[in-house]
Amino acid sequence: MEVKDNVDNQTDIQEEEKGKEAERARWYTDTILQSELADYSPVKGCMVIRPYGYALWEQIQKALDQMIKDTGHSNAYFPMLIPESFMTKEKDHVEGFAPECAVVTHGGGKKLEEPLIVRPTSETIINYMFAKWVQSWRDLPLLINQWANVVRWEMRTRMFLRTTEFLWQEGHTAHATAAEAEEEAQRMLGVYKDFAENWMALPVLTGEKTETERFAGAVRTYSIEAMMRDAKALQAGTSHFLGQNFAKAFEIRFQQAEGGLEYAWQTSWGVSTRLVGAIILGHGDEKGLILPPRLAPIQIVIVPIYKSDAEKATVLERCDQVYNTLKPIARVHLDRREQYTPGWKFNHWEQKGVPVRINIGPKDVAANVVEIARRDTGEKMRGVQMDGLEKQLEQLLSTVQASIFERALAFRKENTRQIADYADFKSIMEEKNGFVEAHWCGKTACEASIKEETKATIRVIPFDWKAVDGKCIRCGTATDKRVVLAKAY
Amino acid sequence: MEVKDNVDNQTDIQEEEKGKEAERARWYTDTILQSELADYSPVKGCMVIRPYGYALWEQIQKALDQMIKDTGHSNAYFPMLIPESFMTKEKDHVEGFAPECAVVTHGGGKKLEEPLIVRPTSETIINYMFAKWVQSWRDLPLLINQWANVVRWEMRTRMFLRTTEFLWQEGHTAHATAAEAEEEAQRMLGVYKDFAENWMALPVLTGEKTETERFAGAVRTYSIEAMMRDAKALQAGTSHFLGQNFAKAFEIRFQQAEGGLEYAWQTSWGVSTRLVGAIILGHGDEKGLILPPRLAPIQIVIVPIYKSDAEKATVLERCDQVYNTLKPIARVHLDRREQYTPGWKFNHWEQKGVPVRINIGPKDVAANVVEIARRDTGEKMRGVQMDGLEKQLEQLLSTVQASIFERALAFRKENTRQIADYADFKSIMEEKNGFVEAHWCGKTACEASIKEETKATIRVIPFDWKAVDGKCIRCGTATDKRVVLAKAY
């Protein structure tokens, strides 16, 4: 079979170019492959999500799905293949997505009368259905979410961060008023922030995107932006206020309570398997992954240590006991494999980012204690009493969760700078990365030349920032508007 | 927009042909639309799964996913787009699936060098990866499951039963020996039987399929077959022993413990959103759906009954109390809507198949009782004491679950006949449907002419049936082999 492994091909090329970035890219790929989160696939730009990576995605899905349901949304499923004519209904939308589409031209051995697009996102097909379902103000708000795969033909792909096919959830809602839709768009951004900070242990900035970075078809796009360990930004989720753009394109009109017909006001919002990339890049270190306990597929791993058969029996008996004690309070795994040494297992589970490891040897059994090792700090606690182990581990998992969040927050603080001078800005972007808070006049031309000259982009116009007089970092025009800039994944 | 609702178009044509069957088809479609399980979509052969239908699918997923994990399998995710050349690696596989493929020929605005097939099933892409992962006997068994969408270009589509795109799970495994793979194929058929009987409340026959009905690329195909309320059969799940067919096509070879290289032995198995169709057709009645309590998205609905505002206050207070009491033990919903009468709500929730309804009026509040109505039997229990309601409802849900299973089992018994005479067989198939146990000589020609003449097919060659002398129902040749025949969906 003459098929090449296709994800990250582009990255390999990039790697030859630059030292530090290349090293970082190699670390990222190696970590994914060695921890068995994912593998290359023979399909251009697509990866295979392996069981360990998929288990992490399942934890993400489970927590987020509950948050989406708790805010009143219902899951549904819409066709993946969308008639080409649908894509052209909303002018900006088609311009944005047409270059990225995969097109089905043949089905059942025949050429199709109308080609079908593999969904790059589902606004068009979902809003076609909304037009059928929404007749009266009583049908609103309509709050739908879909978990699905989507395809966007990307030129440069990287596992989890940007793959041709990826998994995501996409929320689509319709409301009676602009204010309600706006509130919904911000509510869901808030859900994403909550999820990123309290589950992924990654602090995020929230704010509006500039026109350049806006979703194709939206009136306003909001995003959450996290800082990775190399001080670059990663957009981790977006929420869009769509106004009446799609409602007009698809004729979603409703009888108002007060009489008269009105177009619905809408939102859409989504996060994807990119979140796995955010966790890898946002917490990992030279040893591999560091997973936040609340999302780790395995929270505690138990490694038995013995030499003789007699030792093996007593040690494994104790390991089973500890396993059964911890099972009700954590996702625990006992590594019984005989073909690997304890040392090999230590490295293995560190690479896989398991938050807490328990080592048990014959002396521990005799003294009725265990040894506990934290993945995040490397700290070891020897001689931990068996008595009350459950409580202690429950506490430790919370501590680790809080601790890696604090570490990420402190790191972001260290790497966030207020800069007024463009030369300073350029050298920061060359040498250190990080977030830069700076004034911007609001002109697309300035934004574009900053990107051209430094590769930095405006990540967000933060919510609720006070007006402060200053000058645009690029052109010097007086303005009181500030933004956050960074180089981004 | 000039797009027609496309699912069930073919059924409409069929409907003009035959009286009873047409009526049944209309009932099926109406039930789905009115209970809001699904809706027509503008995409040929595809449906939209609406929130109520998707919630039912989520319940199915949740229970079955746990059973799949409990038997040692891990979920993973593989690319949806498969290089065309992969499909041709296994001769029988390509012959079976090529006519049903949707083909992506363009991506990112360019014609692709090699067309990509939207997966109709994932043996090819998964086994390509298995070849990378399986090197030694230590890597086996490899037990993978995938929840995914697939596309098969079907000529005649019907919502849930046969749609161009559908959702399913597909298990793919590799083993060191034929015996282990055979055991796995039968184990997973057993899981499907367990799920069908204990969760869906539908008794199923298990057995092997004839060569004609075998999965393209399998050595043996096993299936579970349920009887619908019109006494027709529905194939609800299949499990395949693949032998070494795909291992040879994709070079999955491993170092044996005893030395030497060997091709892996494999299985695959799947169930799909067709299970929703099985629940509708297997339990429903003229009023609509009857959902098995263990899978019903709403198990208990509470309907308040009042006239004055004063009544409303006390009744709703009691409804809230009952809701909170039952919330920990059941999926309960309180229908507070004011624009509908209680009578309208009774019909509404009966149509949606909610197993148990609780009616509460002012007299009930005064007497400290509620009224309970069963969906399956229509039975009403008046004056049920508030005290101990929780226990009673928990018990009632189990009773309903068992009761609809027993009803289905009795119905299958009534409609299962042992027939030796072909004329009798033909008239049964014309007038009554049902399962027929009959002798078959094993020749494909007999099987084909039975289908041609009666539309009945061999559903399974049941496991463990004792040899009984007799004659082939079609050709009269002496044989001791018996099979189950039926007309099927």
Name the stretches of chain A with pLDDT < 50. Answer: 1-2, 10-16
Contact between residue B121 and residue B169 where contact means Cβ atoms under 8 Å apart:
no
Does residue A34 fall inside a structural domain?
Answer: yes
**Chain A interface disruption, residue of B44, B90, B126, most A CBs within 10 A:** B44
Diameter of chain B measured on Cα atoms = 84
User: Three-state SS for B184?
Assistant: helix
Domain end: A396, A425, A455, which one? A396
Alpha carbon of A288: minimum distance to chain B alpha carbons (Å): 21
Q: Closest Cα partner for B104 from A455, A117, A58?
A: A117
Instruction: Return the structure tokens found at A244.
Output: 């009446």
Contact between residue B77 and residue A58 where contact means Cβ atoms under 8 Å apart:
no
User: Three-state SS for B359?
Assistant: strand
Rounded CA separation A467/A481 (Å): 6
Place of tokens 């098995």: B292
Rounded CA separation A310/A325 (Å): 23
Does residue A1 fall inside a structural domain?
Answer: no
Does residue A156 fall inside a structural domain?
Answer: yes
**CATH number of the domain that B431 lies in?**
3.30.110.30
Task: Give the N- to C-terminal CA distance of chain A in Å, as an integer.
Answer: 33
Contact B74 A51 (CB under 8 A): yes
**CATH number of the domain that A345 lies in?**
3.40.50.800
> Looking at residue A110, what is its pLDDT?
95
Name the stretches of chain B with pLDDT < 70. Answer: 1-18
Q: What interface predicted TM-score (ipTM) does this complex get?
A: 0.96
pTM: 0.96
| Backbone φ/ψ region at B152: left (φ over 0), alpha (ψ -120 to 50), beta | beta
Does residue A293 fall inside a structural domain?
Answer: no
Same domain, A138 and A31: yes
For residue B137, what are the contacts with CB-CB under 8 A and spacing of at least 6?
A: B176, B254, B255, B256, B257
Does residue A78 fall inside a structural domain?
Answer: yes
Listed in order, strand segments (DSSP E) in A59-98 are 74-75, 81-83
Instruction: Return the structure tokens found at B442.
Output: 């094993």
Rounded CA separation A119/B476 (Å): 55
- The range of the structural domain enclosing residue A456 comes to 416-486
Instruction: Return the structure tokens found at B309.
Output: 């505002």
Same domain, A261 and A308: no
DSSP per-residue string spanning A361-372: -HHHHHHTEEEE
Instruction: Return the structure tokens found at A261.
Output: 């017909």
Contact A43 B153 (CB under 8 A): no
Contact A41 B138 (CB under 8 A): no
Find the radius of gyration of the CA atoms of chain B: 25
B49 neighbourhood in chain A, CB within 8 Å: 76-78
Rounded CA separation A420/B269 (Å): 62
Instruction: Return the structure tokens found at A159.
Output: 């596992």
Same domain, A246 and A318: no
User: Three-state SS for B339?
Assistant: coil
Quote the Cα angle for B276-B278-B283, to 5°.
105
Rounded CA separation B356/B334 (Å): 12
B79 neighbourhood in chain A, CB within 8 Å: 41, 43, 46-48, 165
Same domain, B140 and B244: yes
Contact between residue B222 and residue B239 where contact means Cβ atoms under 8 Å apart:
yes
Does residue B76 fall inside a structural domain?
Answer: yes
Cβ-Cβ contacts under 8 Å between A and B: the total is 179
Nearest to B108 among A57, A100, A133 (CB): A100
> Looking at residue A5, what is its pLDDT?
64
For residue A198, what are the contacts with CB-CB under 8 A and spacing of at least 6?
A: A294
Same domain, B275 and B154: yes
Alpha carbon of A139: minimum distance to chain B alpha carbons (Å): 12
Alpha carbon of A364: minimum distance to chain B alpha carbons (Å): 31
Quote the Cα angle for A319-A325-A330, to 5°.
100
Q: Are strands A204-208 and A457-462 parallel, antiparallel or unpaired?
A: antiparallel
B250 neighbourhood in chain A, CB within 8 Å: 1
B94 neighbourhood in chain A, CB within 8 Å: none
Q: Which alpha helices (DSSP H) does B113-204 contain, by range?
A: 123-133, 178-198
Alpha carbon of A109: minimum distance to chain B alpha carbons (Å): 6
Does residue A327 fall inside a structural domain?
Answer: yes
Compare all CA atoms of chain B with the CA of A107 and give the residue at the minimum distance.
B102
A98 neighbourhood in chain B, CB within 8 Å: 109
Q: What is the mean pLDDT of chain B?
A: 95
A133 neighbourhood in chain B, CB within 8 Å: 39
For residue A382, what are the contacts with CB-CB under 8 A and spacing of at least 6?
A: A369, A371
Rounded CA separation B390/B358 (Å): 12
Rounded CA separation B96/B87 (Å): 10
Same domain, A275 and A317: no
**CATH number of the domain that A271 lies in?**
3.30.930.10
Same domain, A472 and A323: no
Neighbours of B465 (CB within 10 A): 15
Q: Are strands A265-272 and A233-243 parallel, antiparallel or unpaired?
A: antiparallel
Contact B129 A77 (CB under 8 A): no
Q: Helix %, strand %, coil % for chain A, to 5?
A: 40, 30, 30
Rounded CA separation A431/B154 (Å): 58
Contact between residue A175 and residue A140 where contact means Cβ atoms under 8 Å apart:
yes
Rounded CA separation B180/B187 (Å): 10
Rounded CA separation A458/A461 (Å): 8
Q: What is the pLDDT of residues A268-311, one digit of tens each?
A: 999 999 999 999 999 999 999 999 999 999 999 999 999 999 99
Domain count, chain B: 3
Q: Which backbone phi and psi does B392 adopt, to 5 degrees?
A: -65, -40
Alpha carbon of B242: minimum distance to chain A alpha carbons (Å): 21
Place of tokens 């999820």: A195
Same domain, B125 and B231: yes
Same domain, A271 and A337: no
Place of tokens 């109505």: B373
Same domain, B152 and B213: yes
Same domain, B217 and B255: yes
User: What count of Cα atoms within 13 Å lies in the side-chain half-sphere of residue A30?
Assistant: 12
Compare all CA atoms of chain B with the CA of A155 and give the residue at the minimum distance.
B108
Does residue A2 fall inside a structural domain?
Answer: no
Contact A76 B116 (CB under 8 A): no
A100 neighbourhood in chain B, CB within 8 Å: 108
> Looking at residue B224, what is its pLDDT?
98
Rounded CA separation B165/B33 (Å): 18
Compare all CA atoms of chain A with the CA of B153 and give the residue at the minimum distance.
A108
Rounded CA separation A52/A73 (Å): 29
Contact A83 B42 (CB under 8 A): yes
> Looking at residue B1, what is its pLDDT?
41
B39 neighbourhood in chain A, CB within 8 Å: 129, 132-133
Same domain, B310 and B425: no
DSSP A286: T
User: What count of Cα atoms within 13 Å lies in the side-chain half-sphere of residue A167?
Assistant: 24
